[in-house]
Amino acid sequence: MRLFTRLAMFATALAFIVILLGAYTRLGDAGLGCPDWPGCYGHIDVPNEHHEIHKANEAYPDRPVEPAKAWKEMIHRYFAGTLGLIVFGIAILAVRNKQHPLQLTGVPLFLSVWIVFQALLGMWTVTIKLNPTIVMMHLIGGFTTLSLLLWIYLRHSNSMVERRGAIVELNKLHLPALLGLIVVIIQLFLGGWTSANYAALACGADFPTCLGQWWPPTDFREGFVMWRGTEQNFEFGVLNNDARSAIHLSHRIGALVTTLVLVWLAVKLFRYKQSLILNKLAVLLIIVLTCQVLLGIANVILSLPIGIAVAHNGVGALLLLTMVTINHAIRPRSEAL
């Protein structure tokens, strides 16, 4: 069991790194740095010899080799592949330890199937040339993997078990905590859709207004068409600015709603004086939420510098992990399925 718990903890940290690398790849316009999958121009690494580059350029004349972009893509794949192998290892250990009364088996087995689907999404992201729906699903798939790995670790960790307080009182927090988690997930969807459609700068460097107006021209119908086929190249986006503005404003409105809901949840947690853990999680929630809001604003007014944009993705992942931890902390071990 100790090996299983440590492996789950390591996999959670690695999944977080994979999300950061994925964000860096996407924001660095390297999502098609390698036009094939799982290799790169037919190689397990990036072509670097003159004859290799020449052959690759002949094979993909519309996508000549750009080593910097290709390496971003391949490093992301290396880390993601390693994570996949570790997830399979966790599933195997879960089956081997299934006789243990506290061993979780359902989630690890589901995650081993999920990681295969996530790999397929990674392949389709390349082969369907950054289709926004596939890109968003791949991003959300990464967040799902991260969340499930943390849940597995928390389920097998002894922290948060002895100081939960009265179960009856904790039951009153179930619905607010679940609502907070759902709101964060929806906001991550909106953020993924904004990124996948290159709408992060649809309002220019204008905040809190957008293009000098509180409500500029928008086209929500066009902005939220969820499938646009597989034939065209979606790199750098295919939408007009009215559609992108609609997406961007939806993400801003979502951020406001998320902030209000999570502040409300944090107040409820902090008022629960019987549990020091929940009080600390309330403070952590406010800190992470504040950082995320400030990073989002900085992305707009500074015109999406890649460091801040990647940090915005990373802190978004931390916000999700905080909500997963809160939901775990208010449930007895018997409920943490």
Check whether residue 165 and residue 70 sit in a common domain. Answer: no
Check whether residue 47 and residue 187 sit in a common domain. Answer: no
CA dihedral 307, 310, 314, 315 (to 10 degrees): 60
Q: What is the DSSP string of 112-176?
A: HHHHHHHHHHHHHHHHTTS-HHHHHHHHHHHHHHHHHHHHHHHHH--TTSTT---HHHHHHHHHH
Check whether residue 218 and residue 276 sit in a common domain. Answer: yes
Check whether residue 66 and residue 192 sit in a common domain. Answer: no
Check whether residue 84 and residue 55 sit in a common domain. Answer: yes
Check whether residue 219 and residue 205 sit in a common domain. Answer: yes
- The owner of tokens 């406001």 is 256
> Which of 97, 130, 157 marks a domain boundary?
157
pLDDT per residue as tens digits for the range 79-104 = 999 999 999 999 999 999 888 877 88
**Residue numbers of the chain with a pLDDT score lower than 70:** 158-169, 332-337
Check whether residue 203 and residue 337 sit in a common domain. Answer: yes
- Among residues 326, 275, 277, 270, which one has the least CA distance to residue 165? 275
pLDDT at 333: 56
| Residue 123 phi, psi (nearest 5) | -65, -45
Check whether residue 82 and residue 14 sit in a common domain. Answer: yes
> Which of 157, 186, 214 marks a domain boundary?
157
Angle between helices 106-127 and 67-96 (to 10 degrees): 160
Query: C-alpha distances in angstroms, 89 versus 14, 75, 120, 149?
Result: 14, 21, 19, 12
Query: Tokens standing for 190?
Result: 């909106």
Check whether residue 3 and residue 36 sit in a common domain. Answer: yes
CB 105 within 8 A of CB 94: yes
Check whether residue 120 and residue 83 sit in a common domain. Answer: yes
Q: Which of the residues are catalytic?
A: 73
> Which of 116, 137, 157 marks a domain boundary?
157
H helices then E strands: how many in the chain? 10, 0
Give residue 300's domain range. 161-337
pLDDT at 165: 46
Check whether residue 22 and residue 102 sit in a common domain. Answer: yes
Q: How far apart are the first and last CA of the chain?
A: 17
pLDDT at 155: 87
pLDDT at 162: 41
CA distance 292 to 314: 9
pLDDT per residue as tens digits for the range 26-36 = 999 999 999 99
Taking residue 118's Cβ as centre, other Cβ atoms within 10 Å add up to 23
Check whether residue 199 and residue 90 sit in a common domain. Answer: no
Strand partners, 43: 40
Domain count along the chain: 2
